[in-house]
Structure 1
Amino acid sequence: MSLPHLYSDLHGKLMDRGVWASLRARLAARSRVTNLGVVMLTVALVFSMILNMRHTTRIVKVPIQPSTGVECPERFGNVRTLLPVLPGHGKVKLTHLVIVAGHAVWKGNPALSVTDDNNWYLEDYQRGGSVQTFVKHIETGIGIAANDSSSLLVFSGGQTRDQAWLSEAESYFRLALQLSPTLPRWPQTALAATAPKSAFQPLFDDGAQSARPAASSGTAAPLMGQSTEDGGPNLAHLRMTTENFALDSFQNLMFSIARFREYTNTYPEKVTVVGYKFKEKRFRDLHARALRWPMHKPTSDGSSRFNYVGIDDANRVNPIERDNAYEQFRQDLYGCHHRLLEKRRRRNVARRLPPYASTANEISGLIDWCPADNSALQGLYPYSLPWDPRVNTGMGRGALLVMEQNGGYILQEEVLPDGKKIIT
């Protein structure tokens, strides 16, 4: 068949039904394709797709190292260089986290009693006796931390009141400075190398000590007291700090552990929580389990890794009798659905997000973990945590069990020259 030269010839060919019938017959005819042909067509198709994706997708590469080409030795290492040397570095090891969970914000008005409801930003149900319990929580936490030189006292509570810029934790810290002259301090031997100034003194001078009201009398003295060379109290000499982002009891525990890591560069070996007695079951059965905290593994000195000190309201008009949030947390261990989520949103009046995904990056996955709704224990965080036995020792649970059964020794297999095997 010759090719058409004129438009009329081309038009005639296109309109010829015989030509189209012949073409359809050729396309519909049976054909045999070999395996090699199939492979070659497949390779050509894949290669074509790769080329198309390469030319149509714009990939923006962000440099992960300085322009000098020297890679950072540690992730977030540059951030941590902003921290000063810990006062007890190399001399006092902090291993015990003491948490005082916040519940309200103290206004700090010296003209009013510490236990006066008008000196606090309170919810309606907290009026009529709760502030006396808050003060007891603070005093109890101070006493525990002051008697244990390996402890760090953390007041935990976010900026939950739209009437105040202070967080619950910051207001508790301020009140602690006035409530007790025996605050937890770094030993002088630990301060010698990093802080030559005199040790921190309570915020009351000698003349005011006799007149300084205790928490029972309920009146706070003004912030006068001893000062350092630069004119202010040296708070760095205290083993006390704040955690300013927690919005509920679960975050009180998790964020305080993260704050301990942020402050000390390590994770605690044991935790003591001071709070309401009726919340103890929630902390033990739900919060500690959600964090997979080793509740039943004692520390090296034989003490418990998790302790709870509960103090309920004694003189409230309408005492709180039960834990209304227990069932909610039982179905939603991480508090990221429905009512618990809405409660966090309602309390987060300052629209703040915690920094711990960076400053305690080993548990960043745990901080953001949110399993399916109503998953309960089936939604437990499944990945490694810094306090897991495998992480701490490099051994699995089976090896640890064998070691415990054999007096702390690992069984080893030895092959004798004659081929016999013995266990040592």
Structure 2
Amino acid sequence: MLPTARSRNGRPVYQRNVHLSFHGSLAPQRRILDILRTRSRVTNLGLFFLLAITCLSLLLNLSYYISASFSSLRLGSSLSYDYDHDIPGDILSTLAPSEELEALSHLVIVPGHSIWHGSDAASRLNEDDWVLEPYQKGGGRVAAFFEHITKGVEILHQDPKALLIFSGGQTRLSSTTTEAESYMRLALKANLFKLPAGAAHSPRATTEDFALDSFQNLLFSIARFHEYTGRYPENITVVGYEMKRERFTKLHRAALRWPIERFHYVGADPGGQEGVEAQQGERKNGFLPYTSDYYGCHSFLLAKRRQRNPFRRYHPYHTSAAELKTLFDWCPDQNKLFTGRLPWYG
């Protein structure tokens, strides 16, 4: 509290009042009021109210912090978050609740490598029905694509808590569809889901339509799982090229700090000489670049993403998986692992 104002002779202004009222029953209270009413640059009464408001504000903020921390800890322990977190009301109103989807906990990812634009599943091995890069033609790559799709659906059928996500963006200028959508369409045309008559799709299979590389296949599929079910997965299985096992397991999984005991990889490669050449290309153009750029956001790997995004698409996961905002933007100058909080690690 500020010093009490004094008169010219140095005596406190309130002394005379205190002496006169000392014998009264209200003397102590009056003394306090006299002090508070004493003039100063900031009156003592004003200072008292400022201190009271400050203390009240601190208490309210502390209460909110403790409540939010407890809520976050409780939700994090079950790998589940509020479904409406940061989602605008006009969007949230269109999302019908589903206990079946909210019970799913196993994410099965099939990364896309090309776009199928055919109409007959029986001719799925015809390379003319695929949008292929020159290095993808010949040698059984198309057969490997379909094997990945088939294995993903098989895992889905084996686990009632699994959600299958085909992942891959609108990566080719010569096609307006996405890799993921074309994989889903081929799976449906081939009747891999064994749907009952009249059913158009499986509720436990969906697409992730924005990933531009293997790292985003993994990260964005986790985000899409949350967008689709309202929670984060507990287990992940990736179905892809066997030659990319180390890339996904040692690099991408580690970059996301996903627990290795809850991560599985199922691989299938093209055979013959094509398989040997593909493995060499994988090491040179995939594995090694990611060892020095875990998040694929610099130079060579960033150039690949830009090349694969001719339609200038961008993902919605800053809103639908808001807990991952800082991870989406993580791009350190040096090759450092993300150190922020993650829903599945803490």
Give yes or no for TM over 0.5: yes
Task: Quote how far apart the aligned CAs of 1:83 are.
Answer: 1.1
Q: 2:96 aligns with which of 73, 80, 84?
A: 84
Counterparts of 1:21-420 in structure 2 under 5 Å? 75-76=86-87, 78=89, 79-86=91-98, 88=100, 93-110=103-120, 113-128=123-138, 129-183=140-194, 200-201=195-196, 226-227=197-198, 233-235=199-201, 237-295=202-260, 304-315=261-272, 317=274, 319-322=277-280, 323=282, 324=284, 325-372=286-333, 375-376=334-335, 379-389=336-346
Separation (CA, whole Å) in 2 of partners of 1:282 and 1:317: 19
Give the TM-score normalised by the residue count of structure 1: 0.58
Structure-2 change in CA distance of 1:112 and 1:357 (3 Å)? same
Structure-2 change in CA distance of 1:127 and 1:89 (3 Å)? closer
Task: Quote how far apart the aligned CAs of 1:118 are.
Answer: 0.6
Separation (CA, whole Å) in 1 of partners of 2:272 and 2:311: 33
Separation (CA, whole Å) in 2 of partners of 1:87 and 1:180: 26
Deviations for 1:152-190, whole angstroms, at most 9, x for unmatched residues?
00000000111111100000000011224445xxxxxxx
Separation (CA, whole Å) in 1 of partners of 2:146 and 2:121: 17
Task: Quote how far apart the aligned CAs of 1:84 are.
Answer: 1.5
Whether the 8 Å CA contact 2:156–2:164 is kept in 1: the answer is yes
Deviations for 1:261-303, whole angstroms, at most 9, x for unmatched residues?
00000000010000011111011111011111111xxxxxxxx
Task: Quote how far apart the aligned CAs of 1:81 are.
Answer: 3.1
Task: Quote how far apart the aligned CAs of 1:307 are.
Answer: 0.1
Report the secondary structure of 1:312's partner residue. coil
The letter of the residue matching 1:321 is: Q
Unaligned runs of 5+ in 2: 1-83
Runs of 4+ in 1 over 3 A off after TM superposition: 180-183, 315-319
Aligned Cα root-mean-square deviation (Å): 2.0
Report the secondary structure of 1:262's partner residue. helix
Whether the 8 Å CA contact 1:275–1:311 is kept in 2: the answer is yes
Q: Identify the residue that residue 40 of structure 2 maps to in structure 1.
A: none
Task: Give the structure with the higher percent helix.
Answer: 2
Whether the 8 Å CA contact 1:139–1:180 is kept in 2: the answer is no
Higher relative contact order (CA 8 A, sep 6+): 2
Separation (CA, whole Å) in 1 of partners of 2:193 and 2:316: 31
Whether the 8 Å CA contact 1:159–1:245 is kept in 2: the answer is yes
Whether the 8 Å CA contact 1:154–1:242 is kept in 2: the answer is yes
Task: Quote how far apart the aligned CAs of 1:316 are.
Answer: 6.0
Give the TM-score normalised by the residue count of structure 2: 0.71
Structure 1 range deviating more: 318-327 or 354-363: 318-327
Task: Quote how far apart the aligned CAs of 1:245 are.
Answer: 0.4
Structure-2 change in CA distance of 1:294 and 1:162 (3 Å)? same
Whether the 8 Å CA contact 1:137–1:311 is kept in 2: the answer is yes
Separation (CA, whole Å) in 2 of partners of 1:251 and 1:370: 14
Deviations for 1:32-89, whole angstroms, at most 9, x for unmatched residues?
xxxxxxxxxxxxxxxxxxxxxxxxxxxxxxxxxxxxxxxxx95326233321122615
Q: Identify the residue that residue 67 of structure 1 maps to in structure 2.
A: none
Report the secondary structure of 1:336's partner residue. coil
Separation (CA, whole Å) in 1 of partners of 2:179 and 2:200: 22
Task: Quote how far apart the aligned CAs of 1:321 are.
Answer: 2.1
Separation (CA, whole Å) in 1 of partners of 2:177 and 2:247: 27
Structure-2 change in CA distance of 1:74 and 1:163 (3 Å)? closer
Report the secondary structure of 1:321's partner residue. helix
Structure-2 change in CA distance of 1:268 and 1:118 (3 Å)? same
Report percent identity of matched pairs: 46
Report the number of matched residues.
258
Report the secondary structure of 2:278's partner residue. coil
Whether the 8 Å CA contact 1:130–1:316 is kept in 2: the answer is no
Structure-2 change in CA distance of 1:74 and 1:288 (3 Å)? closer
